[in-house]
Structure 1
Amino acid sequence: MKIQQFEDKGLAHYSYAILSECQKQVVLVDPARNPQPYYDFAQEQGATIVGVIETHPHADFVSSHLEIHQQTGAIIYTHSLVGADYPHTAFDEGVVLEIGKIKLKSLHTPGHSPDSISIVLEHDGKDKAVFTGDTLFIGDVGRPDLRENAGNLTAKREELARQMYHSTREKLMYLADDVVVYPAHGAGTLCGKALSEANSSTIGQEKRSNPALQDMTEDQFVTYLTSDQPFIPKYFGYDVALNKQGAPNYQESLLAVKRLEKNSKPEKDALIIDARPQAEFKKGHLAGAYNLQNGGKFETWLGSIVDPKETFYLLAQDDKTLDELIDKASRIGYESKIKGAFVMDAVAAVASPEMDVARFKEHPEHYTIVDLRNASEVKDKKYFANALNIPLPELRERAMEIPTDKPVVIHCAGGYRSAAGSSIVEAALPTAKVFDLSEAINEFRPL
């Protein structure tokens, strides 16, 4: 037996291949959008992919389960409560999938979603591992507030939090202490609030150290789990629906993105995502463009700022970066939202004003300061007493709340969000003078 973990760092996503070495058969768990790494693994092992298990309809990434089924004939397994629109076999509690000496046993573990399952791997008659999806993380459990308006079954966060209490305590914590825990996400995901950097653990270790598994009443657990959760990106409900349906072919979808001529000029008032470095953007950009730079969390911020009902133009500084960005967009199903993609190496007409940090330090009261960090970040560390807190995911809708009687200074925790935020405010308030404090925020001490 062999378990191979695959990681998508941008989305902090883990997927798995379970290999029966005697049967030369592979079962996948929660595969990412690009199926090629799983094909490569199977080929390297001289094995065939015979099954794909979906622990639930994912909100934060698009799975390749349908494409893998279509390409390999592998059977898709998921809980019947998903109401899946793709061909599948119900993998409800008590169902066992056997490959060689391996038994994969389904546990219904609602809490993150009503249809969540965990998969216990038994080998040679002993439970060895459990694939917990978004139910149990390392150092945390899945958030319960993503299925109030999405999915085949919807449920209120309090109801799901109570289900999570029972799923963890009456099912997962009953497994042996040495059973290895393999979650679907690690630190950086928005599917939980306090995940560890570790990519695996054991049931025993989690029982000892995971705050969500400590001794508390059900009501105390509900209060704990429903408080201080991170924001919900705009794309989450869209991805739940897309995963319930099954995403289109990955490579065909990338090739379908319309490529435009270099330095194209989209129509007036078009939504433009300019992913060039902020220095290039500030020298000159297209009117109304948003500077969402390429980086480790590009796809998350893209899906937090752009609504899935919208279409947008995507531009980058070179072809290689543009290809990378289209791939990242596809991981959340947004490649179909790209109206046109092109390279820009010309300096456009609109320039952003340069920030005089020294002048700002002397008289911060002469500026309207907007803090783009999340409310929990501001609660822990505040930089300016009179700053207006508008988290970046809410900025497009709330930009008109910003007073324009003074120059506006935008800041975040390190500069990435402020580059995007200042460009959004520039577009929304064209008569205002908008400055990006950028990395200079590190020169200021918290209050």
Structure 2
Amino acid sequence: MKIEQIYTGCLAHAAYYLESNGEAAIFDPLREVQPYINRAEKDNAKIKYVFETHFHADFVSGHLDLAKKTGATIVYGPTAKPAFEATIAEDNQIFAVGTCKVKAIHTPGHTMESTTYLLIDENGKEHGLITGDTLFIGDVGRPDLAQHVIADLTEEKLAGHLFDSLRNKIMPLSDDLIVYPNHGAGSACGKMMSKETTDTLGNQKLFNYALRPDMTKDEFIKAVLTGLTAPPAYFPKNVLMNIRGYESMDTVIERGEKALSPTEFEVVANETDALILDSRQTDDFAAGFIPNSINIGLDSNFAMWVGELIPDIKQEILLVTDEGKEEETITRLARVGYDHAIGFLEGGFASWKATGKDFETVDRISAEEFAQKYANEQLLVFDVRKKSEYGSEHIINAVNIPLNAINEHLAEIPKDKPFILHCAGGYRSMIAASILKQRGWDNFVDVKGGFAAIVKTEVPKTEYVCPTTLL
């Protein structure tokens, strides 16, 4: 039996490849499925099953395309009701993959259909658990997401189910089982996941707060619900796509990979309601960009911020990318359900600039310049980091508007006096700068390098969360 974790860092997502005796199974695949097909072909194996641990919220799964291209059977756990052909496993049902076995263990809690898959090798030894979002390394799946799709499934009810699943289905299993979760640190599907992406179940019983053996159900419910932040707005929409189905990834790529000259790009932008999305790095965007475009850099948590800041998942999108990054950008948009890229600027921003068309810039200052201004002037500073980051340490009197809430707090940002933007390192503040530029603000500068650069100067800071926090 061969088991491999296929990890995608920008989504903190883990899919799994299982192979035995010429048969393979894929667990929780991402939207683009060719890498899984290629992996099976490398072993001369046929993909027999696509196992889904639950209806995912943070990404659109590749189950439909993978099944269509390989003939594999899609498998969900008990209570799942997909709008397409799939096998709905019974609790403890066993599936053969080559000479090994996969046992479906119904573990409701994160969602009601959540299922953990027990891997049993060719010798009959229980090897590991593919836990989906039921059990992470250092954490468990948040039980507040399903209520955004089904109102009756309150977070308290689901947390109670999760307690029972962990105590009655997972914790009685052998300590030497390897835990293979669906996510690692950085995912919004939990609140305190480890950077490690596998561990033994025995270690998790010792160190995972949610597996404390003497914890009561009430204590568990309080522990898992305390400190949860609001989930990204696109989560319920991805759930529905995973339940109902979606367009083929090939169709999405073909539609988005339409090269447009600067003139054609401008015509399409003017004649449609398309959003111009610029995925270049912050330095490049600040130096020049097409008016009304939004910058979300491909070099960081691109898909997550697209999902946070573009409310309509069906929004038509025109792309400005680094040359050669067009397909990657379209793919990463589609991973979270943004399937309506309708073309890209051929030749990138350089071609736009070469035609003499209008462009804008973002004014930036260094951390040293900020320190000088701070020492000599009364500055209005907006910090777009998360509330928790701001609470840990921030510039005295800085106003905290987390980036994911900026659209709801534009009224608090003045247009009649200058101000300064910063985040932790410059990525988020450039997104904020592009949003403000699009909405008509032009009276601010961005701190290059963000708070990380500022702390190296002599600017006074405080660990006190002052009353200027808006969220």
Tell me which interval the TM-score lies in, with the shorter structure as reference length.
Answer: over 0.9
> Taking structure 1 as reference, are residues 280 and 262 closer, same or farther at Cα in structure 2, changes over 3 Å only?
farther
Q: How far apart are the structure 2 equivalents of 1:219 and 1:202?
A: 26
Aligned partner (choices 63, 66, 69) of residue 68 of structure 1? 66
C-alpha change, 1:85 and 1:95, in structure 2 (3 Å) is same
Aligned mates of 2:246, 2:17 — CA distance in 1 = 20
Rate the CA distance shift 1:420–1:136 in 2: closer, same or farther, 3 A.
Answer: same
State how far apart, in whole Å, the 2-side matches of 1:280 and 1:99 are: 49
Task: Indicate the residue corresponding to 1:332 in structure 2.
Answer: 336
SS at match of 2:270: coil
**Mapping 1:261-272, distance limit 5 Å:** 261-263=260-262, 264-265=265-266, 266-267=269-270, 270-272=274-276
- Alpha-carbon distance in structure 2 between the residues aligned to 1:57 and 1:141: 16
Contact persistence 1:136–1:183 (CA under 8 A): yes
Q: Residues 283-432 of structure 1 correspond to what in structure 2 (within 5 A)?
A: 283-334=287-338, 336-342=339-345, 343-345=348-350, 346-347=352-353, 348-355=358-365, 357-358=367-368, 360-364=370-374, 366-379=378-391, 381-428=392-439, 430-432=440-442
CA deviation map 1:138-176 (0-9, x unaligned) = 11111112111226x862222212222121122111110
Query: Is contact 1:371-1:410 (8 Å) kept?
Result: yes
Question: In 1, Cα distance between the equivalents of 2:407 and 2:341?
Answer: 19
The 10-residue stretch of structure 1 (252-261 or 139-148) with the greater mean CA deviation from structure 2 = 252-261
Distance 2:248 2:453 in 1: 47
Residue identity over aligned pairs, in percent, reads: 34
CA distance in 1, matches of 2:168, 2:141: 16
Question: Which residue of the partner structure matches residue 34 of structure 2?
Answer: 36
Return the offset for 1:359.
5.1
**8 A Cα contact 1:366 1:406, kept in partner:** no
Residue range with higher mean Cα deviation, 45-54 or 381-390: 381-390
The list of structure 1 runs, each at least 4 consecutive aligned residues, that deviate by more than 6 angstroms after superposition, is none
What is the CA distance between 1:363 and its match in structure 2?
Answer: 4.5
Unaligned runs of at least 5 residues, structure 1: none
1:16 and 1:28 in contact (8 A); partners too: yes
Residues 23-69 of structure 1 deviation map (CA, whole Å, 9 limit, x = unaligned): x2112211111111221122121211111111101111111111122
CA contact (8 A) 2:424 2:450 kept: no
Partners of 1:317 and 1:171 lie apart in 2 by 47
- Give distance in 1, aligned partners of 2:98 and 2:329: 41
Contact 1:114 1:154 in 2 (8 A): no
Q: Describe the superposition over 1:223-277 as per-residue Cα deviations: whole angstroms up to 9, x where unpaired.
A: 2211222442222111111111233322232112262423322228752211222
Change (3 A) 1:277 1:246: same
Q: Output the CA distance in 2 between the equivalents of 1:399 and 1:426.
A: 12
Say whether the 8 Å CA contact 2:13–2:184 is kept in structure 1: yes
Equivalent positions of 1:105-144 (< 5 A) are 105-123=103-121, 124-144=123-143
For residues 359-393 of structure 1, the C-alpha deviation after alignment (integer angstroms, 9 at most, x for no partner) is: 542454633222211222222x2312322222111
Number of residues of Structure 1 aligned to a counterpart in Structure 2: 441
Q: Which moved more, 1:256-265 or 1:51-60?
A: 256-265
Unmatched segments (≥5 aa) in structure 2: 456-460, 463-471
> Contact 1:288 / 1:427 at 8 angstroms: preserved in 2?
yes
Q: Is the 8 A contact 1:63 1:247 kept in 2?
A: no
The one-letter code of the counterpart of 2:382 is V
Q: Distance in 1 between matches of 2:366 and 2:85?
A: 60
Letter of the 2:390 partner, please give it.
Answer: V
Q: 1:275 to 1:99 in 2, by over 3 A?
A: closer
Supply the AA of the counterpart residue of 1:331: R
1:76-115 correspondence runs (5 A)? 76-115=74-113
What is the one-letter code of the residue matched to 1:271?
Answer: L
Q: Which amino acid aligns with 1:344?
A: F
Q: Distance in 2 between matches of 1:257 and 1:399?
A: 31
Counterpart residue number, 2:283: 279
Distance in 2 (CA, whole Å) between partners of 1:397 and 1:270 is 21
Alignment of 1:3-14 (within 5 A): 3-14=3-14
SS of the residue 1:61 aligns to: coil
- CA 1:154–1:289 in structure 2 vs 1: closer, same or farther (change >3 Å)? farther
**1:304 counterpart letter in structure 2:** E
- Normalising to structure 2: TM-score of the pair? 0.88
SS of the residue corresponding to residue 162 of structure 1 reads helix
**TM-score, normalization: structure 1?**
0.92
Post-superposition offset of 1:208: 0.8
Q: Quote the Cα distance in structure 1 between the aligned partners of 2:404 and 2:261.
A: 30
The one-letter code matched in structure 2 to 1:36 is Q
Partners of 2:80 and 2:88 within 8 A in 1: no
RMSD: 2.1
Q: Residue 219 of structure 1 aligns to which amino acid in structure 2?
A: D
Which deviates the most, 67-76 or 130-139?
Answer: 67-76
Name whichever of 67-76 and 304-313 sits farther off: 304-313
CA contact (8 A) 1:15 1:31 kept: yes
Distance 1:274 1:79, change over 3 A: same
Partner SS, residue 57 of structure 1:
coil
Distance 1:256 1:444 in 2: 43
1:100 deviates by 4.1
Letter in 2 for 1:247: Y
Contact 2:368 2:454 in 1 (8 A): no
